Amino acid sequence: MKRTLLKTADGSYTLQIQEWDEQYHSKHGAIAEALHVFIKEGLHFWFENFKVNEVSILEIGFGTGLNSYLSYLETLNNPWKIKYTGVEAYPLNIEEVKPLEYPSALNASEAEFLRLHQIPWEETSKISDAFQLTKQKKHFSEIEDQNTFDLIYFDAFGIRVQPELWTEDIFKKMYTALRPNGILVTYAANGNARRAMKTAGFEVERLPGPPGKKEMMRATKPKD
Ligand SMILES: C[S@@+](CC[C@H](N)C(=O)[O-])C[C@H]1O[C@@H](n2cnc3c(N)ncnc32)[C@H](O)[C@@H]1O
């Protein structure tokens, strides 16, 4: 499927799949959405609540690497260690991600952003002392981890275009992959997705959404 560059409302870029009329990020602000949903309501929430200094993250849809890069940047200003696993079935090539210009938009180093894309798949690579990344090239339906992650960034394409990714089956996999007390954050607030999460065992909160979206969701795997 053809992907084209699209400028979003906060001035940052995303990729658009014209055939689906679907974007990798919100048209109302790609960086604004990622910072709100995944960094503020996911990463910061985790460290503020659990008072630990290490987190193990699973990202559903590595895509442009924006969430991974923003998480890495957080380790430069906080005493945090992050083990990050990004799952992606359709990797982008470096020529598609460079024009997104995330490092300059964030006033940060391009070297680490490019490394996130250049490191080999299926191996754990140290981006810094505080940030290690494992990229796995596979479909979400193949995820079989158990009690492995503290935090899931659930950033699949929307339920309108990929309803098969917002089902009880997929959320059961997410639930199993999380440790007790683990959380999943997503930009979506769809009622069917929320019911599927609850059936899978999650406790679900609706939170104020990023610019242009009333609500988002955070789901918690209760402590047994
Ligand atoms: C909303 S985009 C990802 C956005 C990404 N987090 C970012 O910041 O660029 C969804 C991603 O899921 C990937 N994807 C779609 N269906 C998939 C599947 N069944 N299994 C694995 N990856 C899939 C797409 O290729 C795309 O990169």
pLDDT tens string 37-95: 999 999 999 999 998 999 999 999 999 999 999 999 999 999 999 999 999 999 999 99
The residue-averaged pLDDT of 176-184 equals 97
How far apart are the CA of 51 and the centre of ligand 1, in A?
30
How far apart are the CA of 156 and the centre of ligand 1, in A?
5
Q: What is the pLDDT of residue 133?
A: 98
Of the CA atoms within 13 Å of residue 111, those in its CB half-sphere come to: 2
Which residue(s) pair with 67 in the sheet?
none
Whether the predicted pLDDT of 136 surpasses 80: yes
How far apart are the CA of 73 and the centre of ligand 1, in A?
21
Q: What is the pLDDT of residue 51?
A: 85
Whether the predicted pLDDT of 224 surpasses 80: no
80 touches 74 (CB < 8 A): yes
> pTM here?
0.98
> CA distances (Å), 5 to each of 9, 22, 25, 95, 135, in order?
13, 12, 11, 12, 23
The answer to whether the CB of 20 is under 6 A from ligand 1 is no
Q: List pLDDT tens digits, range 105-129.
A: 999 999 999 999 999 999 999 999 9
The residue-averaged pLDDT of 166-173 equals 98
Q: What is the pLDDT of residue 74?
A: 98
How far apart are the CA of 224 and the centre of ligand 1, in A?
31
Q: Hey, what amino acid is at 21?
A: D
Instruction: Report the nearest-CA residue for atom 25 of ligand 1.
Output: 90
Atom of ligand 1 nearest to the CA of 140: 20
Instruction: Report the nearest-CA residue for atom 5 of ligand 1.
Output: 63
Query: Containing H/E element for 169?
Result: helix 168-177
Out of 140, 165, 187, mutate this one to test ligand 1's pocket (max ligand atoms within 8 Å of CB): namely 140
**Residue pointed to by tokens 């089902």:** 167
Out of 62, 144, 185, mutate this one to test ligand 1's pocket (max ligand atoms within 8 Å of CB): namely 62
Burial of 51 (0-12, 13-18, 19+ CB in 10 A): exposed
Please state, in angstroms and rounded to a whole number, the distance separating the CA atoms of residues 93 and 65: 11
The answer to whether the CB of 33 is under 6 A from ligand 1 is no
The answer to whether the CB of 160 is under 6 A from ligand 1 is no
